[in-house]
Structure 1
Amino acid sequence: MIQGLYETHIQVNNLENSVRFYTEVLGLKLAHMDETRPIAFLWIGEGKSFMLGLWEQKENLQPRHFAFSSSKEDILNYSVDFLKKKDLKPYNFLKDGIDEPMVFAWMPALAIYFNDPDGNQLEFISVLEGEGKPELGVISYEEWMKHQ
């Protein structure tokens, strides 16, 4: 029955500003805007495969978390510079001040985090090949490669 996750929705304080952030900064495509609700739908990737809904909420904003699928190569070689050039602060899962991607060894998956203007926690993630090693915890990619 379930083949994947098609869409997710988050709350934003200012719909216009958030649409600008997700389209101009992150490169998503505006699919539809309904100002009577107010909500915007954005395409993630190609072929209408995934969608993000932005709901304007002026009070009691509840930040959420979700992850964008990325390639291992893009995360390792491009993500940190990409985020910094967009004036976004990349951080790892440990929030230890190191702005390098880290591996969740239990999956395994490589990830780097950043926030949108409303404090929603966003992530670029790539599932790595091989078996998970939960005993390693969350480690640097270099450390992960030593165990391969």
Structure 2
Amino acid sequence: MIQGIFETHINVSDYKKSAEFYEQLLHIIPLHHDPFRKSKFYWVGKPGESMLGIRENYPSSLIQRQHFAFRIALEDMPQARSYLEGLGIATTNFFGESAEQLSVFPFMPAVSIYFQDPDGHSVELLAMLEDQPRADLEIMSWEEWETLHGRSKTQH
């Protein structure tokens, strides 16, 4: 039975530049470098559980924007924005607006923050919330979600 997504590979225009970008993210562990194929592979989080591969101009030089999300712990979400911005990486919410108000996807429910890699791939940091899913609700800010559940309006 399927238990989750094990690996994601993306086509990049310059694998060395992309490697520098991904290697500065926390818990991205270099696994294998193949200079002949201009590719690098990484464990994401715990080795053996999830892998990211980057490969230059494969199968062509056409770079099509991709999207993927890294799962993080909920308690790490408030610091994620400042960490990324400290690296010079611009962040947004789901709507492409300032990441000062992070978005919650009630149907899951999960909170997330978005950023782009050097090729414009959409990368997301996502944390699951312990609340019950609410498919009847639209995407909202984390502050609105917390208020809905009777929790403090702590700035997220």
2:115: which partner in 1? 114
8 Å Cα contact 1:105-1:138 kept in structure 2: yes
AA in 2 matched with 1:19: A
Identity of aligned residues (%): 36
Which residue of the partner structure matches residue 65 of structure 2?
63
Output the amino acid matched with 2:131.
G
2-side partners of 1:92 and 1:46: how far apart?
A: 26
Aligned to 1:95: 96
State the 1:133 CA deviation. 1.4
SS of corresponding position for 2:118: coil
Q: Secondary structure at the match of 1:62?
A: coil
Give 1:68 deviation, angstroms: 0.5
Instruction: Give 1:47 shift.
Output: 2.7
Name stretches of at least 5 consecutive residues in structure 2 with no aligned partner: 150-156
CA RMSD of aligned residues (A): 1.4
The Cα of 1:48 is off from its aligned counterpart by 2.3
CA distance in 2, matches of 1:143, 1:117: 32
More helix by share: 1
Q: How far does residue 98 in structure 1 lie from its aligned partner after superposition?
A: 4.6
Amino acid at match of 1:71: A
Alpha-carbon distance, 1:38 to partner: 2.1
Q: Deviations over 1:23-67 (max 9, x none)?
A: 1x2131211111222221111112321110101017211121000
Q: Could you say which residue in structure 1 is the equivalent of 2:124? A: 123
Q: Give the alignment's TM-score, normalised by structure 1.
A: 0.92
Deviations 1:90-122 (A, max 9, x none): 100011345432100111100000001110100
Counterparts of 1:97 and 1:52, CA distance in 2: 27
Aligned residue for 1:17, secondary structure, equals helix
Where does residue 26 of structure 1 map in the other structure?
A: 25
Cα distance in 1, alignment partners of residues 46 and 134 from structure 2: 33
Distance 2:65 2:7 in 1: 17
Preserved CA contact (<8 Å) 1:15 1:38: yes
Equivalent pairs counted in the alignment come to: 146
- Name the TM-score, length of structure 2 as normaliser: 0.87
Contact 2:39 2:56 in 1 (8 A): yes
Whole-Å separation in 1 of the counterparts to 2:37 and 2:61: 15
For 1:29 and 1:9, locate their aligned partners in 2 and report how far apart those are by CA, in whole Å.
15
